[in-house]
Homo-oligomer: A and B are copies of this chain.
Amino acid sequence: MTYQAPLRDMQFVLYEVLHGDQVLPALPGFEDATREIMDAMLTEGAKLAENVIAPLNTSGDREGCLYDPETKSVTTPSGFKEAYKQFAENGWTALASPVEYGGQGLPHTLNTLAEEMVCSANLSLGMYPGLTHGAINALTSYGSDELKNRFLPKLISGEWTGTMCLTEPHCGTDLGLIRTKAEPQADGSYAISGTKIWITGGEHDLADNIVHLVLAKLPDAPGGSKGISLFLVPKFLEDGSRNPAFCGGLEHKMGIKGSATCVMNFEDAKGWLIGEPHKGLQAMFVMMNSARLMVGLQGLGIAEAAYQTSLGFAKERRQSRSLAGPQEPDQAADCIIVHPDVRRMLLRQKATIEGGRALAYFTSMQLDIAHNAESAEQREHADDMVQLLTPVVKAFLTDEGFFCANDGLQLMGGNGFTQDWPVEQFVRDARITRIYEGTNGIQALDLVGRKLGMAGGRPLKRFFAMLEEHCKDENAPHVGELKAAMAKLQKATLWLMQNGMTDREQAGSAATPYLRLMALTALAYFWSRMARVAREQLDNGSSETDFYQAKLHSAAFFMAKILPQTSSLLTEIEAGKDSLMAMTLEQF
């Protein structure tokens, strides 16, 4: 497959829309994140993604990972090891990690941009360092200084990788049910025993060591999710001996075949407690929250790759004539991009990707502000946005990553269904992003069940205030459409307050359409902002007329053809739970 990082679009969002070149370097600790540094990083990242990582995407899918039951080892597809080494050596694992442990201490936002490019190029390969990043975050936030000193430097350098070991055969969503045990040992360590499944990068040949972060229960643990502790369990101990944390096999999956998804057996493996006893879920959520944002970026990345492939096809493939009469009479047929229905599929991808990119980068920048801003007020405000929008970014962008990949496949006809083109793999790979790190249904429940009510509804109030502020801008296009969408979201929120607080099943019945309604409203906001910038540039005589005109056209398409879904979503929400709950078990 070929991939070209959409640098101009990325820069447009980061600098022209979100002013990242002013906001980020103004944050204490991020003084180095100048536009020059960020541009250099983007250019380097693009090269790596385009020339090293993307060429391994198809072959990685065909080869898959190999498990050897004799040695309990896993071989990743050809070229992955070398590409990962280059990724680490070029500093990508260290990018946003703490300087005191060898990191570069750059903003998280830059990781986000890198994640998009890497996941466009090769989702399976991108997952290995992606999980390490989560482990670094949890360890940084909750680990003792001793553990940090022992493990962070090599995780940050990329010499070692990390995992998150949560799921067990009988429990995924409901972690209160886990059975893995941790027995305290005389030396202060713990003996961990149990079986974990769905462990990304649980075993592989990319790095010298693997650091597992494992949820387990202490002997005196209270029942349910309040009795879970987090442990660090390395594959190799510091004396070089092999810790009995073995891969028991690989999952056979629909996609992400280059990513080793392992069954892990901990057989009295030596581990150390991270954070306080029984408070592992809290630490795990630090990993989860940044991981959820990143999974949203995976959806965006795949959508972009599918868009590029299908756009190229639509501009080359000749079939039938334009409905308005031959466009290229000297050719046997016109290119299929002349057809309104093909354009519908292309523009759905384009408008969703570019709007979704603004939403995702915005949320990432809020994360940086939440961590590094000087004033507590600023930090709180930004954290409110992160809390509210993280489930939206995760669920909406992964749903749309899958839908966009499918639009790409569809417009390519039979070609899209064959393995001669990369799009069928994008569809298969994208499918899991709607499930892992909390299914999109769980994201929606997180939004309506936790985030809306947080701090008396403050995050949502601030979200609305931000949109209302923008609506005052007389030069902003599409404010009418945005206001109409906001009114529907407000109406849905009111419905939730009146019905969902006394009856949690009402909230549960509204969750998925509510999340989508919020996402579409957020995208309407960002499209209005982007159109505002584009309009201004054109008025000021920018030479990039095609680029800015395209933004205006995409904004208009979004408002005309995608945003109307908000009507049906509101109706669906207000219809409530009755038609969902009436059917008895026997009647199904």
With an 8 A cutoff between CB atoms, is A567 at the interface?
yes
Chain B residues with CB below 8 A from A419, complex form: 252-254
Contact B580 A344 (CB under 8 A): yes
A171 within 8 A of B: yes
Given contacts A324-B504, A340-B577, contact A439 B427 (CB under 8 A): no
Whether B319 pairs with A173 at a CB distance below 8 angstroms is yes
Contacts of A350 in B (CB 8 A): 588
User: Which residues from B are CB-within-8-Å of A549?
Assistant: 584, 587
Those of A54-69 within 8 Å (CB) of chain B: none
Copies in the complex: 2
Q: Which residues of B contact A581 (CB under 8 A)?
A: 340, 343
Q: Are A253 and B417 in contact (CB under 8 A)?
A: yes
Q: Is A339 close to B, CB under 8 A? A: yes
A253 to B571 CA separation, bound complex (whole angstroms): 39
| A546 located at the interface, meaning its Cβ lies under 8 Å from any Cβ of chain B in the complex | yes
Q: Does A436 contact B (CB under 8 A)?
A: yes
Main secondary structure of the interface of A (DSSP, over half): helix
Question: What's the nearest-Cβ distance from chain B to residue A550, in Å?
Answer: 4
In the complex, are the beta carbons of B564 and A571 less than 8 A apart?
yes
Instruction: Give Cα A568 to B488, complex, Å.
Output: 13
- A556: interface (CB < 8 Å): yes
Most buried by B among A255, A547, A583: A583
The answer to whether A575 touches B564, judged by C-beta atoms less than 8 angstroms apart, is yes
Please judge, given known A-B contacts A254-B424, A344-B509, A584-B546, whether A439 and B413 are in contact too, CB under 8 Å.
yes
- Counting chain B CB atoms within 10 Å of each CB, which of A323, A340, A410, A432 scores highest? A340
A282-296 vs B, CB cutoff 8 Å, 1 = contact: the mask equals 000000000000000
Q: Which of A37-45, A440-448, A451-459, A524-532 contacts B (4 or more CB under 8 A)?
A: A440-448
List, in ascending order, chain B residues with CB within 8 A of A332's CB: 177
Are B583 and A553 in contact, CB atoms less than 8 angstroms apart?
A: yes
Least CB separation from A399: chain B residue: B410
Chain A stretch 540-588: residues in CB contact (< 8 A) with chain B: 546-547, 549-550, 553-554, 556-557, 559-561, 564-568, 571-572, 575-588
Q: Does A217 contact B (CB under 8 A)?
A: no
Q: Which of B170, B507, B550 contacts A583 (CB under 8 A)?
A: B550
* Whole-angstrom CA separation of A172 from B318 in the bound complex: 10
User: Which residues, 315 to 345 on A, are CB-close (under 8 Å) to B?
Assistant: 315, 318-320, 322-324, 332-333, 337, 339-345
Note all chain B residues with C-beta closer than 8 A to A406.
402, 431
Question: Digit string of A191-224 for contact with B (CB within 8 Å is 1, else 0)?
Answer: 0000000100000000000000000000000000
Q: Given the complex of chains A and B, what is the CA–CA distance between A410 and B442 in angstroms?
A: 11
Evaluate contact between A550 and B427: CB separation under 8 angstroms: no
Which residues 479-519 in A have Cβ within 8 Å of B in the complex? 503-505, 507-509, 511-512
In the bound complex, how far is the Cα of B333 from the Cα of A174, in angstroms? 9
What residues of chain B lie closer than 8 Å to A566, measured between beta carbons? 568
Expressed in whole angstroms, the Cα–Cα distance for A434 and B322 within the complex equals 22
The reply to whether A567 and B557 form a contact with Cβ atoms under 8 Å apart is no
- A305 to chain B: which residues have CB within 8 Å? none
Instruction: Flag if A347 contacts B580 (CB, 8 Å).
Output: yes
Tell me the nearest residue of chain B to A442, going by C-beta: B341
29 A-B residue pairs with Cβ-Cβ distance under 8 Å, sorted by A, are A173-B413, A177-B319, A177-B332, A252-B419, A253-B418, A254-B417, A254-B428, A311-B588, A315-B585, A323-B504, A337-B585, A339-B441, A340-B577, A344-B580, A347-B580, A350-B588, A410-B435, A413-B435, A414-B435, A428-B428, A546-B587, A547-B587, A550-B587, A559-B579, A560-B579, A561-B579, A561-B580, A564-B571, A565-B568
Given contacts A311-B588, A560-B576, 10 further A-B contacts (CB under 8 A): A198-B414, A252-B420, A324-B503, A339-B508, A340-B508, A341-B444, A344-B512, A417-B431, A553-B583, A557-B583
